[in-house]
Amino acid sequence: MPPVADPSPRLLAESLLAFWAEAGVDAMLLDEPLDRIEAGKFVPPPPPGRAGQPSASVSPIRPAAAGQPDVSAAIAEAQALAAQAKTLEELAERIAGFEGCALRHEGAATRAVFARGRPDAPLMVIGEGPGADEDRQGEPFVGRAGQLLDRMLAAAGLTERAFITNTVFWRPPGNRTPTPAEQAVCAPFLERAIALVEPKMLLLVGGASAKAMLKREEGILSLRGRWFEWRSADGALELPALPTLHPAFLLRQPAAKKRAWADLLTLAERLDRPHRPE
């Protein structure tokens, strides 16, 4: 077997940045000031009207902030395609054929990575994006981090009760954290998946997932273990959501596993809690 080449300085830098982002560091010094809160606000626009196609009622999209690409056309296309999908299989096909996400042509080597798990699961697990192993195998969370996630779900009795996906469906270059723009382009597909699965609650794995889904700016160490209400862009869906630490972070910081385990136990208890009529 030929020796594996050392990673390039660029890949090492991207890996380090991803580590700090997962730990909650969300600011850096630039030559020019940049309003990152404004840059992260991407509200999907209504899809273009087409006869015979359903459309969602959503708020108008904001203009692209300084330093951020204008992805309004890509979001509109994703909304139209997602609305056409009546099953998860159809949704996977539309994601696979979607050309509007830059990650498809930048980081992904093989294919779109959509989901795995029960299609009627009461729990939807949402990570940030696929890595190299996921890109090769076409399923989310199948590398070392995914194997740890599977062991944790199994220990909490959640293996057969989970549907697992990500905020983006193509691997970011160097496994970096996906940008708000990339997540916004994929959001209509993710929301359609939630509508089709109809889970009872969401487990948001890692800072990038929690921030994108909840529209929050705090780091994951602040968000984890706290219940929030997730709402779809059109307001039609609302679900309890619990952020927790990403298993990739737990592999780097084993002492944090007890906090993630506590989050899973909290979630499992709420999932099994009898419904109380109002």
pLDDT at 7 over 50: yes
What confidence tens digit (pLDDT) does each residue in 170-199 have? 999 999 999 999 999 999 999 999 999 999
3-state secondary structure the chain: CCCCCCCCHHHHHHHHHHHHHHCCCCCCCCCCCCCHHHHCCCCCCCCCCCCCCCCCCCCCCCCCCCCCCCCHHHHHHHHHHHHHCCCHHHHHHHHHHCCCCCHHHHCCCCCCCCCEECCCCCEEEEECCCCHHHHHHCCCCCCHHHHHHHHHHHHCCCHHHEEEEECCCCCCHHHCCCCHHHHHHHHHHHHHHHHHHCCCEEEEECHHHHHHHHCCCCCHHHHCCCCEEEECCCCCCEEEEEEECCHHHHHHCHHHHHHHHHHHHHHHHHHCCCCCCC
Report the pLDDT value the prediction gives residue 48, as an integer from 0 to 100: 47
The yes-or-no verdict on residue 47 having pLDDT over 70 is: no
Mean pLDDT of 8-17: 65
Which pLDDT belongs to residue 274? 76
pLDDT in tens, 56-112: 434 344 444 445 678 999 999 999 999 999 999 999 999 999 999 999 988 777 789
In the predicted structure, residue 239 carries a pLDDT above the cut 50: yes
pLDDT at 170: 97
Please state the rounded mean pLDDT for residues 116-140: 96
Start-to-end C-alpha separation, the chain: 64
At how many degrees (to 10) do helices 180-197 and 72-84 cross? 10
107 vs 247 pLDDT, higher one: 247
- Structure confidence at residue 3 (pLDDT): 53
Q: What local confidence, expressed as pLDDT, does residue 135 receive?
A: 94
The confidence score (pLDDT) of residue 100 equals 95
**Which range (15-24, 38-47, 58-67, 70-79) has the least confidence?**
58-67
Mean pLDDT of the chain: 84
Predicted confidence (pLDDT) at residue 218 exceeds the cutoff of 60? yes
pLDDT at position 12 over 70: no
CA–CA gap between residue 15 and residue 29 (Å, rounded)? 18
Domains of the chain: 71-271 (3.40.470.10)
Mean local confidence (pLDDT), 143-152: 97
Rounded average pLDDT over 232-260: 96
Report pLDDT for 28.
Answer: 54
Residue 244 has pLDDT above 50, yes or no: yes
Its pTM stands at: 0.76
Residue 69, pLDDT score: 72
